[in-house]
Chain A
Amino acid sequence: ILNVEQSPQSLHVQEGDSTNFTCSFPSSNFYALHWYRWETAKSPEALFVMTLNGDEKKKGRISATLNTKEGYSYLYIKGSQPEDSATYLCALNFGNEKLTFGTGTRLTIIP
């Protein structure tokens, strides 16, 4: 069984503060790592796909890093805003198109 673990499960952050959370995975059989943002009552929205050890991606105030050798990825949000409130899902391809999803980190930004 290939487990994708995310921590913390939930997080409350004051507006304006920066935050980060983690996705951990077995480093063998790695193919690609995806980050999605999933707002309540909407559909998941792709943020990043990363494939190479040391990859760093950035989209506005959100960025992500990847360490395939030790099996983790960090997602960072700088200067949190209320619209950042969502569940952030990490998912991995282990050699084919199927994604194995983590259970997500539920982020709530407190105004």
Chain B
Amino acid sequence: DARVTQTPRDKVTEMGQEVTMRCQPILGHNTVFWYRQTMMQGLELLAYFRNRAPLDDSGMPKDRFSAEMPDATLATLKIQPSEPRDSAVYFCASALTERQPQHFGDGTRLSIL
């Protein structure tokens, strides 16, 4: 079965460090999403892309977060500088179209000390 692959699975780092999370969407899926799991809001959409173009990043703190798709097989989410409040599980998902299910990766568990 095709899967969305996220790396790293776990990341622990100190406050102020740069963090890069990577996602390989399912081949052929043209829509890619970044979510953050929070206690209060459940699944929070940070950004999403269609055909590698960013469509909506309104859920993302712009001063420290950036999301890119350098090519169709790689999406990245960067935090610089990281802060303790960024500690969360970050999920990437991909979909064929909006009427098809989103397939989620296993997530990156991020801890900022």
Which residues of A pack against B, CB within 8 Å?
Answer: 31-32, 34, 36, 42-46, 48-49, 51, 89, 93, 96-99, 101, 103-104
Contacts and interface: CB of A to CB of B under 8 A. Distances in A.
A99 B103 contact: no
Given A31-B99, A36-B101, A93-B99, 15 more contacts: A32-B99, A46-B101, A46-B103, A49-B99, A49-B101, A51-B99, A93-B98, A96-B55, A97-B31, A97-B50, A97-B97, A98-B45, A99-B33, A99-B45, A103-B42
A43 B31 contact: no
A42 B91 CA distance: 10
Nearest to A97: B98
Interface of B: 31, 33, 42-43, 45, 48, 50, 55-56, 91, 93, 95, 97-107
A4 B99 CA distance: 17
Contact of A43 (B42, B56, B91, B99): B91
